[in-house]
RNA sequence: CGAGGUGUGGCGCAGUUUGGUAGCGCACAUGGUUUGGGACCAUGGGGCCGGAGGUUCGAAUCCUCUCACCUCGACCA
């Protein structure tokens, strides 16, 4: 009976164990986060999905502003000649750039690229605006979409167009630029962990994996339920690569023309994919309260009975000031609603029926644990607040535990392959820094170097020898198969 | 780009082998009874079967071409 019941509860969603990809596809479509558009690789973000994005945006935007950044907006189209100015950059992005060749019926003199990222156009403008060190630092950000022509696409994780933000800053000194780069990756991590409840490992990308045109790329990497890593945000120290290529100069404190130091950093709607795959389960979404579009859904029970709907609306109204709350007074059966809202990942369900009204209470059910409690109505607000906090914390704790369970150490390639097979996830291993080792690990195992943790999270494993070539290595790195 | 798969009411599918008036479940609409873990009864609306050619008296079904999407790999926020 339990089994049968269980099957019934999740009939719309393939179970994770059976087929993780199908589970993901089912979840994003059945919960109406996205739909496929008429153009391959481009997805429609539906209201429920977009509301999640708006909450993520708000969390980041607030912190960007708090650290002195201002928003701006640059054009969608970039002349080919501009894109070509930074050699490594073009090389990196050329294969996935979309081109505009015609305006109306007329062929353009110069092709225009649909931005895959905006370093080039922004730098071209910065070079016009910057004159003196007194204007520095430049601290700007833009929220926009970018286009990268992808061969295989999956909602949120890889689509040909995606929404993101890109910060672009200029600084007087390399130290300041480095400080900014680190500040932003730390903000990324803080929001990922505290708002999205998504634990991440932070570190440096290898030369091979870094952003095209960067001196250094820092990344945060999250681990999904299937043991694959998801690059969830990157912060680049671009040095003077672009500022020289774009001739951005200013008169410095010594009255000399100088190129400033440059950073850029971005997070995208991919984060939503991360939230789905980190917290979701066989019932569907499981949204962290901090970004859930609906934190509490009010379900009137036996709503045709005298006073039930009135009471439900009264409760909704009272809660509206402090919570994102919705009421479901459709005439679907209660059981159907339970499952529907669980699938949608709403953190708390509030049931109010004749019995509760008589007792001046309501029932609260947690999405994360399934636990149900009766709460007196005059304690509702405080209890909800506590519960939402507890759910937020629990989601993080569970995700962290999952990551730790899926993180293993490998001292040689035999262990590496064994771990990856038996317990897919992050593999911590020493790396000599040689790209040939990085390549051969990828060749043999499919795992890539996700990041090299920062100093304070570094450790020496075993005798400090490279997992691949056995030569002395002073860096530990995280490896994983990745999205 | 390689390999596989799928296209039939909004969704999920059957029908294709063996050509003969397009069906089922869910959803939707109306009315009624229900309502604390996916309710029930009755009535009703909705599809030229992805597209284009062809074979045939007749094509969802056979043939040719084509398009789209999904999954898995290789490459990438």
Q: What is the CATH number of the domain that holds A443?
A: 3.30.110.30
* pLDDT confidence bin for A3, thresholds 50/70/90: very low
Q: What is the CATH number of the domain that holds A315?
A: 3.40.50.800
Q: Which of A214, A244, A279 is the last residue of a domain?
A: A279
Task: State whether A211 and A63 are in the same domain.
Answer: yes
Task: State whether A271 and A317 are in the same domain.
Answer: no
Q: Is the N-terminal amide bond of A137 cis, ω within 30° of 0?
A: yes
Name the β-bridge partners of A139. Answer: A169
Name the β-bridge partners of A71. Answer: A141
- Using DSSP, state whether A256 is helix, strand or coil: coil
Residue A287 lies in a domain: no
Residue A394 lies in a domain: yes
- The nucleotide minimizing the C1' distance to residue A5's CA is B37
Give the closest residue to A32 by CA, choosing from A344, A288, A470: A344
Q: What is the CATH number of the domain that holds A113?
A: 3.30.930.10
Task: State whether A38 and A172 are in the same domain.
Answer: yes
Angle at A145 between CA A169 and CA A324, to 5 degrees: 95
Other CB atoms within 10 A of residue A343 CB: 23
Cα separation, A196 vs A189, in Å, equals 10
* pLDDT confidence bin for A15, thresholds 50/70/90: confident
Residue A41 lies in a domain: yes
State how far the alpha carbon of A426 is from the alpha carbons of A135, A188, A283, A458, in Å.
43, 20, 26, 15
CA A333 to C1' B34, in angstroms, rounded, equals 9
pLDDT at residue A11 in the model: 59
Task: State whether A301 and A432 are in the same domain.
Answer: no
Does the nearest atom of strand B lie within 7 Å of A483's Cβ? yes
Handedness of CA A322, A324, A328, A329 (dihedral sign): positive
What φ, ψ does residue A230 adopt, rounded to 5°? -125, 115
Extract the tokens encoding A225.
Answer: 């339920």
Q: Identify the weakest region by mean pLDDT among A14-23, A199-208, A306-315, A410-419.
A: A14-23
Q: Check whether A6 has a pLDDT greater than 50.
A: no
Domain count, chain A: 3
Q: Check whether A29 has a pLDDT greater than 90.
A: no
Task: State whether A76 and A171 are in the same domain.
Answer: yes
Does the nearest atom of strand B lie within 7 Å of A353's Cβ? yes
Range A282-291 average pLDDT = 95
Does the nearest atom of strand B lie within 7 Å of A365's Cβ? yes
What DSSP string describes A209-242? TS-TT-SEEEEEEEE-TTS-EEEEEEEEEEETHH
Task: State whether A370 and A469 are in the same domain.
Answer: no
Range A68-84 average pLDDT = 95
Range A93-115 average pLDDT = 88
Q: Check whether A91 has a pLDDT greater than 60.
A: yes
Mean pLDDT in chain A? 93
Does the nearest atom of strand B lie within 7 Å of A301's Cβ? yes
Query: What share of residues in chain A are helix, strand, coil (percent, to 5)?
Result: 40, 30, 35
CA trace torsion A72, A196, A180, A259 (10° rounding): -40
Q: A448-453 and A407-409 as β-strands: parallel, antiparallel, unpaired?
A: unpaired
Residue A338 lies in a domain: yes
- The nucleotide minimizing the C1' distance to residue A158's CA is B77
pLDDT at residue A1 in the model: 22
Task: State whether A454 and A441 are in the same domain.
Answer: yes
Does the nearest atom of strand B lie within 7 Å of A438's Cβ? no
Range A16-21 average pLDDT = 83
Does the nearest atom of strand B lie within 7 Å of A144's Cβ? no
Cα separation, A480 vs A71, in Å, equals 35
Does the nearest atom of strand B lie within 7 Å of A351's Cβ? yes
Query: What is the domain extent for residue A272?
Result: 31-279
pLDDT digits (tens, 9 = 90+) for A159-168: 889 999 999 9
Q: Which of A402, A421, A451 is the last residue of a domain?
A: A402
pLDDT at residue A14 in the model: 80
Residue A12 lies in a domain: no
Task: State whether A312 and A380 are in the same domain.
Answer: yes
Query: Where on strand B do bases come within 7 A of a protein Cβ?
Result: 1-2, 28, 34-39, 68-77
Residue A1 lies in a domain: no
């Amino acid at each position: 009976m339990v089994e049968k019941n269980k099957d019934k509860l999740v009939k719309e969603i393939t179970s994770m164990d059976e087929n993780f990809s199908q589970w993901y596809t089912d979840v994003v479509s059945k919960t109406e986060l996205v739909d496929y558009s008429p153009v391959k690789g481009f997805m429609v973000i539906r209201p429920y999905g977009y509301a999640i994005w708006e909450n993520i945006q708000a969390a980041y935007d607030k912190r960007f502003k708090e650290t002195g950044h201002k928003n701006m907006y640059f054009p969608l189209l970039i002349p080919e000649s501009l894109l070509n100015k930074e050699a490594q950059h073009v090389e990196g992005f050329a294969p996935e750039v979309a081109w505009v060749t015609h305006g109306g019926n007329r062929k353009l003199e110069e092709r225009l690229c649909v931005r895959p990222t905006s370093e080039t156009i922004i730098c071209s403008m910065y070079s016009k605006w910057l004159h003196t060190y007194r204007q520095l630092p430049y601290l700007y950000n833009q929220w926009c979409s970018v286009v990268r022509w992808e061969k295989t696409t999956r909602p949120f994780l890889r689509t040909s167009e995606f929404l993101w933000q890109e910060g672009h800053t200029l600084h007087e000194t390399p130290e300041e630029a480095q400080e900014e780069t680190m500040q932003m990756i730390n903000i990324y991590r803080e929001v990922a962990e505290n708002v999205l409840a998504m634990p991440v490992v932070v570190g440096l990308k290898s030369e091979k994996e870094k952003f095209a045109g960067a001196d250094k790329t820092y990344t945060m990497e999250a681990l999904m339920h299937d043991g694959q890593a998801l690059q969830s945000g990157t912060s680049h120290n671009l040095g003077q690569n672009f500022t020289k290529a774009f001739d951005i100069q200013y008169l410095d404190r010594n009255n000399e023309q100088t190129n400033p130091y440059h950073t850029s950093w971005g997070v995208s709607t991919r984060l939503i994919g991360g939230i789905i795959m980190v917290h979701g389960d066989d019932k569907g979404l499981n949204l962290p309260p901090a970004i859930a579009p609906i934190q509490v859904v009010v379900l009137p029970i036996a709503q045709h009975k005298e006073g039930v709907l009135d009471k439900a609306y009264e409760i909704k109204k009272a809660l509206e000031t402090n919570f994102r709350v919705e009421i479901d007074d459709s005439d679907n059966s209660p059981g159907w609603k339970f499952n529907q809202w669980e699938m949608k990942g709403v953190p708390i369900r509030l049931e109010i029926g004749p019995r509760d009204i008589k007792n001046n209470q309501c029932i609260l059910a947690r999405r994360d644990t399934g636990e149900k409690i009766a709460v007196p109505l005059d304690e509702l607000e405080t209890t909800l607040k506590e519960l939402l906090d507890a759910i937020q914390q629990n989601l993080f704790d569970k995700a962290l535990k999952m990551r730790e369970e899926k993180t293993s150490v490998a001292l040689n390639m035999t262990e590496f392959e064994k771990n990856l097979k038996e317990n897919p996830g992050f593999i911590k291993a020493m790396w000599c820094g040689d790209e040939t080792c990085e390549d051969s690990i990828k060749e043999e195992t499919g795992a890539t170097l996700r990041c090299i943790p920062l100093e304070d999270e570094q450790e020496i494993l075993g005798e400090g020898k490279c997992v691949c070539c056995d030569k002395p290595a002073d860096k530990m790195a995280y490896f994983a198969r990745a999205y």
